[in-house]
Amino acid sequence: MDGVRARRESRRSLRRSLGDRPRSGSGSGRVVVAAAARRALLRQQPAAFPDVDNDTPRALLRRVIRNQPQVSPLAPPIADHKETEDAPSEPSSRRTSSMVELQLPDIVPEDTSISTFRMTRSRKKLSISEFERAADKRLPQNQAHSTLDSTLARSLRMSLGSVLAPDTVEKRGLLRRPKNRKAIDIAAFEGGVEQNMQRKAQNYLVELQTASMIEAATATSDAEIMLNNTELFVQPQSVEQNQKKLPALEPRLSESKTPVQRSEISNATQEEGRLVGRVSSVGTDEGRTRRYSEEELINDGEHVDNMAHVSQETSVNDGEDEQGHSQQSEPVEQLSASAEVAGTMEHHTNTGYSEHLEKKLTERAESQIIMTPEEEVVAEGSVKHQDSAKPEPEMARSARAGSLSRHSHAFSSEKSGTKPLEEAVEQADELLEDRAVMGQLDGPEEESTEDEVEMEGQESEEGSMKTPTFVRAPAYRPLPLLPTPRSAKPAAPESPLQPQRAKPVPKTSRKSQKKQREPALASSYIKQIFRHYAKMPVARDAYQIIEKCCEKYFKQLSDDLEVYAHHAGRKTVEMADLELLMRRQRLVTDKMPLHVLIERYLPMEYRKLLIPVAVSGNKVIPSKSMWSSGKW
Amino acid sequence: MRRGAPRGTLRGLLRSHKPQLRLAAGGDLLVHLNFLMFLHRLAEEARTNAFENKSKTIKPEHTIAAAKVILKRSRG
């Protein structure tokens, strides 16, 4: 047995190597294998010497196979049938492996030596049939033992039969030997089936449970993922969150009328206002915008020390973008907060006030003021005022004024302006603050000169109107400065307007005039579109620039269309003119027709109007009848 | 664009600039289309500028530079 096993194992290893090599298909490999096989064979069977036939692997295999059946591989199982039943796994595996291995070499040299195989196969056949008969005999005996054993035996037989079947079919030339099929013991079979089913059911249940758990977990995660990712792009969330924060800030600012906060803010603003005043004295337009942001930053900053240092640095370095960027979030929020506050304030006050403010802002924005001497004077004045006035209300007022002024600057281009100071003044009135403080605060700002003058004038009037604290206003009048010609202009309309704050008539006339002059495209609409196309958070200041761009663009557009229509000898701008314009702008090309652009950018209802579609009944939508077009 | 084209405003704008000029029936829609594409190009250019400056938001400087380029290009 051991010897047989040893030989079998050696043959197995040999055949494995031989079986593997032919697959690779390298001749050298075969030679090597042949040499190895020869050596192995020599070791095992010293009697067989290498002949001419044995040179080739085929010959070697043939020899091996011929010599193989000396000990039938099936014989031991028959003898030890009972033993094998007890432990069928090992022998079956060995038998199958051996049979499989036998098959492999059989396949390879089949062409050359079929006869020999047949001989071997016949021997195998006999052994198999004998085995089967023996197994059959043994079966009824074993049935008494246990169903398990029988099932195992049957499984064993079936496995063996399956392994042998292809072999027999191949080797016997499709001659089928009728196999003796045992009458299956129904009881044993059913028992085995039930056991299988139970086992399977258990497994299935376990699998189901695990699968369900996994599915549930994955489903929730997927759902979460789906729910989370509903935005077009992630960034706007941050913007919206910022916007949400702003209203949160706003009520905080508006509601918290605590002098403490204001004092802090006002302290910061005053200190930095001075610095800002000096900084602003030197500047170009672009620098001014940057400084605006700086001012906003500074004035809105809640961290006094930090801001002071930062402001100094920025003033020295001409406001780098990085600093501005890092701090911009604050001022942006503050600005918006202040804007919100201003808005609320506006609600409280008369609309005329806001009108004046807006007008003032626009005028200021348009004017190019050289503030240096004024700013210096203002700074001095502010210093003076600081000493005298009350700390808290002044601070608060200044803060409000500063914030409002900035806010107003931001909105200057869009709205007609009245003084931001007016709003601040109103706030001050409500807060019972000194007017002088307002003057101080306005001073440090770049455009403050006019504001100061007007503010003070207004403050005086407002003081008379509102609170007794404003009575002090006239005392501070002489403080500010030479009014520029522009200041005179806004001052004039503002003064008459001030007493008319309560009356909406002048305001409406102004507003209607403004609207008639220029039907402004809704800024929020432009914002919406731009934000959608930008796919990035956009700074608030950028929107003003975009607004101006749009105005310029419309001007260009109208000029071009007029030229085209005139060139065509028409007085009406037609679709062809617009298409020509788009062509010249390289929006419409030979590759990109107009219809495609229409479909891409415009909503469905407009598409229907623009693109003629043919429908049944010789009809085209939209109809291009004679009477609809203006030519005929 | 959830609001829809402001056709009246567009006509008013055009009239304000060129009162003698008339506009065809669907002309203002094409004007609106042109306007959208202009904003689109402006936004793209501004976005590119912002990326070049490695900033996550579009700042006024970016838009100014973008406006110069796009306005020149859309002169026709």
> Residue B53 is part of a domain; what is its CATH number?
1.10.20.10
- Measured between alpha carbons, how far is residue B24 from residues A564, A570, A578 in Å? 14, 11, 10
The nearest alpha carbon in chain A to B51 belongs to A536
* pTM of the full structure: 0.32
Q: Which domain holds residue B21?
A: 7-74
With cut-offs at 50, 70 and 90, classify the pLDDT of residue A592: confident
Distance from the Cα of A429 to chain B's closest Cα (Å) equals 35
3-state secondary structure of B59: coil
* B54 in reach of chain A (CB within 8 A): no
CB contact under 8 A, A554 and B14: yes
What pLDDT is attached to residue A351?
45
CA–CA distance, A98 with A105 (Å, rounded to integer):
11
Least confident of A100-109, A427-436, A569-578, B24-33: A427-436
Helices (H), A350-413: 351-366, 372-388, 391-410
Q: Which residue has the higher pLDDT, B29 or A458?
A: B29
Does residue B47 sit within a domain?
Answer: yes
Out of A518, A577, A597, closest to residue B16 by CB:
A518
What pLDDT is attached to residue B1?
52
Helix A391-410 and helix A435-442, axial crossing angle in degrees, nearest 10: 50
Residue among B20, B33, B53, B62 with most chain A CBs within 10 A, to mutate: B33
With cut-offs at 50, 70 and 90, classify the pLDDT of residue A73: low
What pLDDT is attached to residue B25?
82
What pLDDT is attached to residue A186?
75
C-alpha closest to that of A441 among A294, A264, A295: A295
- What value does the mean pLDDT take over residues A326-353? 44
Q: Which residue has the higher pLDDT, A470 or A199?
A: A199
Helices (H), chain B: 7-17, 27-52, 60-73
For the cut 80, the answer to whether the pLDDT of residue A579 exceeds it is yes
Out of A526, A533, A609, closest to residue B29 by CB:
A609
Strands (E), A25-84: none
The nearest alpha carbon in chain B to A562 belongs to B21
* B72 in reach of chain A (CB within 8 A): no
Least confident of A206-215, A392-401, B34-43: A392-401
* B68 in reach of chain A (CB within 8 A): no
Counting one residue from chain A and one from chain B, the pairs whose CB atoms sit within 8 A come to 189
With cut-offs at 50, 70 and 90, classify the pLDDT of residue B27: confident
Distance from the Cα of A553 to chain B's closest Cα (Å) equals 7
For chain A, report the end-to-end CA distance as a whole number of angstroms. Answer: 114
CB contact under 8 A, B36 and A529: yes
C-alpha closest to that of A65 among A57, A571, A524, A501: A57
CA–CA distance, A154 with A139 (Å, rounded to integer):
9
Q: Which residue has the higher pLDDT, A540 or A202?
A: A540
CA–CA distance, A412 with A420 (Å, rounded to integer):
10
With cut-offs at 50, 70 and 90, classify the pLDDT of residue B8: confident
Contacts of residue A550 in chain B, CB cutoff 8 Å? 35, 38-39
Could you tell me the two tokens for A122?
A: 């016949």
* B52 in reach of chain A (CB within 8 A): no
The nearest alpha carbon in chain B to A566 belongs to B21
What pLDDT is attached to residue A613?
77
Does residue B1 sit within a domain?
Answer: no
What pLDDT is attached to residue A251?
47
For the cut 70, the answer to whether the pLDDT of residue A213 exceeds it is no
Does residue B69 sit within a domain?
Answer: yes
With cut-offs at 50, 70 and 90, classify the pLDDT of residue A507: low
- What value does the mean pLDDT take over residues A368-372? 43
Average pLDDT over chain A, rounded to an integer: 57
CA–CA distance, A54 with A344 (Å, rounded to integer):
107
Least confident of A73-82, A331-340, A532-541, A566-575: A331-340
Number of domains in chain B: 1
Share of chain A above pLDDT 90, in %: 0
Q: Do the bridges between strand A572-573 and strand A417-418 make them parallel or antiparallel, or are there none, so unpaired?
A: unpaired
Q: Which residue has the higher pLDDT, A398 or A171?
A: A171
CB contact under 8 A, A560 and B76: yes
Least confident of A209-223, A269-283, A530-544: A269-283
Supply the ipTM of this predicted assembly: 0.94
Contacts of residue A587 in chain B, CB cutoff 8 Å? 34, 37
Cα angle B69-B72-B76, degrees, rounded to a multiple of 5: 140
Cα angle A34-A39-A41, degrees, rounded to a multiple of 5: 90
> CB burial class (10 A; 0-12, 13-18, 19+) of residue A543?
buried
C-alpha closest to that of A155 among A139, A166, A168: A139
Q: What is the 3-state secondary structure (H, E, C) of A144-198?
A: CCCHHHHHHHHHHHHHHHHHHHHHHHHHCCCCCCCCCCCCCCHHHHHHHHHHHHH
CB contact under 8 A, A585 and B73: yes
For A439, residues 6+ apart whose C-beta sits below 8 A from its C-beta are: A378, A381, A382, A385, A452, A455, A456, A459, A476, A479, A480
Distance from the Cα of B7 to chain A's closest Cα (Å) equals 10
Note the residue count of chain B: 76
> CB burial class (10 A; 0-12, 13-18, 19+) of residue A212?
exposed
CA–CA distance, A97 with A500 (Å, rounded to integer):
109
For the cut 80, the answer to whether the pLDDT of residue A628 exceeds it is no
Helix B27-52 and helix A594-601, axial crossing angle in degrees, nearest 10: 70
- Measured between alpha carbons, how far is residue B6 from residues A311, A521, A574, A590, B30 in Å? 44, 8, 19, 29, 12
**Residue-wise pLDDT tens digits, A143-164:** 555 555 555 555 555 555 554 4
Q: Do the bridges between strand A572-573 and strand B22-23 make them parallel or antiparallel, or are there none, so unpaired?
A: parallel
What pLDDT is attached to residue A283?
41
Residue among B51, B55, B59, B73 with most chain A CBs within 10 A, to mutate: B59
Does residue B2 sit within a domain?
Answer: no
Q: Which residue has the higher pLDDT, A260 or A563?
A: A563
Q: Do the bridges between strand A417-418 and strand A613-615 make them parallel or antiparallel, or are there none, so unpaired?
A: unpaired
Q: Which residue has the higher pLDDT, B47 or A111?
A: B47
With cut-offs at 50, 70 and 90, classify the pLDDT of residue A570: confident
